[in-house]
C-alpha cells in the first residue's frame, strides 16, 4: 500500500512540474494554495480533488511541508559529515 501511495505522490509531483510548478511540491498542494489565492484554475482543480477526496488539498499542503522538513534535515546531516 505504501508503494502505491509513493507512486501517486511521484505522479502528482511530475504533473506539477510538467505544468510549470516547482519540483518539490505536488499539484494537489499547489492547487489548494491557488484556490486560496482566488485563482480560477485552483478553485476548479482543488474543488474537484476535494469533492472526490474530502480535505485532500489541505492534507497535501501539510504533507509537502513535512516532506520538505525531512529533506532539509537529511541535507543538513549530509553536510555535517563532510
List, for residues 63-82, the tens digit of each pLDDT value: 999 988 988 888 888 777 75
> Average pLDDT, stretch 11-34?
95
User: In the prediction, which pLDDT does 22 show?
Assistant: 92
pLDDT score recorded for residue 82: 59
Q: Are 9 and 26 in contact (CB under 8 A)?
A: yes
Distance CA 35, CA 77 (A): 36
pTM above 0.85, yes or no: no
Three cell numbers, residue 2? 505504501
- The mean pLDDT of the chain is 92
Give 4's pLDDT tier (boundaries 50, 70, 90): very high
Residue 48 CB neighbour total at 10 angstroms: 13
Start-end of H helices in the chain: 2-18, 27-36, 40-52, 56-81
Cα dihedral 9→71→2→42 (10° resolution)? -20
Domain assignments of the chain as residue spans, ordered by start: 2-81
Amino acid at each position: 500500500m505504501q508503494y502505491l501511495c509513493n507512486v501517486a505522490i511521484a505522479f502528482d509531483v511530475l504533473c506539477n512540474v510538467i505544468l510549470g510548478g516547482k519540483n518539490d511540491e505536488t499539484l494537489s498542494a499547489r492547487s489548494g494554495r491557488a484556490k486560496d489565492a482566488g485563482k480560477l484554475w485552483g478553485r476548479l482543480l482543488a474543488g474537484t480533488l476535494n469533492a472526490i477526496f474530502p480535505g485532500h488539498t489541505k492534507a497535501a499542503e501539510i504533507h509537502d511541508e513535512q516532506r520538505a522538513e525531512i529533506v532539509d534535515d537529511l541535507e543538513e546531516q549530509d553536510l555535517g559529515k563532510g
